[in-house]
Every structure is written in structure tokens, then in C-alpha cells.
Amino acid sequence: MTEFTERLLTSPRKDANDRFRLIWLIIIPLIAILFQVYVPRFLSFLSYLELPLLITVHYALASRGPIAAVFYGMSIGLVQDSLSHQPIGMFGIVKTLVGYFAASVSMRFDVENPLVTFILSFFFYFFHQFFYWVLQRALLGDTLLFDFQQTLLFGLLNAAVALPLFRILDKLKVAG
């Protein structure tokens, strides 16, 4: 194991004790959801930006607490479900899993590393889309096709957006 990979895997976070204020925990997801429902009307290419997912991933990586991440992901997902025409719980389940796995992963990796952030964001976007598609087919019986190439492309775009977004969100944390 090289020094670089060892640092990626074992380096402790400097701001492990930093926490978000409660108000930001509410406002940030709301802004992300508002962005998702409002902005694509004018800039349609931004409809593939899954900001609520990125917020969930960031919170899970930052909090390192699986239980908190589970409930945070579930809450964001349920609000998303409420604004969609699908049964409530579809986004909730997917984001619950994303929150749990992201929080679990954050205990093993140095999630402040941009490369790790990029890879995790890409992975969780792909996981989110794929699992949502599986749920649609399995629970609702929808016969939709999974566009693999498009999902990969949008995963890369979301991961690229995640890098500066996570930096900005880190600034909102306060020292614990």
C-alpha cells in the first residue's frame, strides 16, 4: 500500500467534530428541491442535476453517523416524493440507502480528498438512479428502460458539480 492510498483510506478528518446548524439542515435541502423544481423550467439541461442527492451524500459524508444520515436521506426523499406523481417512498428508500452507505463509507475514506469526493458522488448518483429504476420496475411495474450511457454521463456531471458544492457546504459548518 502506497503512502497516497494509505492516506486516502486512513487519514482522519480534520473537522470531524464540526456540525451544521439546524437551520442549515432544513434550508439547504429546501433550496436544493426548489432548484430542482424551478430552475429546469428555464435551463432544461439542469434538470439532470440531482442536488437533493448531492446534499444527502454531503451530509452523510460529513456527519459520519449512519442513523442520522438514514433519517436525513429519508426526509429529503419523502419531500421529493411528495412533489412527484409516484407513490411516496420511492425516493425515500433510495436516499435512505444512499445516506446509510455514504455514512458508512465516510468512516473508511478521507472524504475531504477531491478525488474521493468525485468518485463517491459519481458512484452514489449511479447507485441512486439504478436503484430507483429497479424500484420502479419491481414495485410499480413500470417498464422503463435504463439508459446506461446517459446515467454515466450525468453521473460524471453531478460528480463535477459536487466538488465545488461540497466546498461551499463545508463553509457552513461550525466548529463543534
Partner 1 sequence: MDFFLSRYRNLSVLLIVIVAQLLLIAYQVKSNKDVPMLRVWAVTAVTPVEASLEFIRRHTWGYVADYFVLLNVRSQNEKLKQENGQLKLDNQYLKSELSTADRARALSVFQSRSPSKFLAARVIGNGTGANSKVVFVDRGAASAVENGMAVVTPDGIVGKVVDAYPTASLVMLITDGNFAAGVVSEKNHVRGTLKGVGHGQCQVDYVQNEEKLDVGEWFYTSGDDRIFPKGFPVGQVTVVRTGKTFKEIYVNPSGLQGGAEEVLIVLQGVHQPIPDAASAAPGYKILAAPTDASAQTPQAEGGQPSVLVTDADRLREQYKQAGAAQNHVFGEGTPGSKPPDFTKIQGIRGSTPPPLTPKPVVPNAQPGATANTGAAQTGKPPLNPQPGTAANPGATSAIKPPASKPPATEPVSASAPPKTRPRPTAPILITDPTDADPDATPPPPKSEKPAPKPPVIRQPNPGNHD
* Residue ranges that bind partner 1, judged by CB under 8 A: 30, 33-34, 36-38, 40-41, 47-48, 50, 52, 66-67, 70-71, 74, 78-93, 96-97, 100, 104, 129, 139-140, 142, 144, 154
Q: Closest separation between CB of residue 48 and partner 1, Å?
A: 5
Interior/surface letters 160-169, b for 16+ CB within 10 angstroms, e for the rest: ebbeebbeeb
As a whole number of Å, the end-to-end CA separation of the chain is 33
What separation in angstroms does the CA of 155 have from each of 6, 42, 149?
26, 22, 10
The residue count of the chain comes to 176
Look at phi and psi of residue 172 and say left if phi exceeds 0, alpha if psi is from -120 to 50, else beta: alpha
Nearest-angstrom CA–CA distance, 160 and 145: 25
Indicate the residue among 14 and 41 with the shorter CB distance to partner 1: 41
Indicate the residue among 88 and 115 with the shorter CB distance to partner 1: 88
Q: Closest separation between CB of residue 117 and partner 1, Å?
A: 21
Q: Closest separation between CB of residue 99 and partner 1, Å?
A: 9
Indicate the residue among 153 and 174 with the shorter CB distance to partner 1: 153
Indicate the residue among 34 and 174 with the shorter CB distance to partner 1: 34
Q: Closest separation between CB of residue 2 and partner 1, Å?
A: 31
Q: Closest separation between CB of residue 27 and partner 1, Å?
A: 11
Q: Cα–Cα–Cα angle for 112, 75, 161, nearest 5°?
A: 35
Indicate the residue among 38 and 171 with the shorter CB distance to partner 1: 38
How many helices, marked H, and strands, marked E, lie in the chain? 7, 0
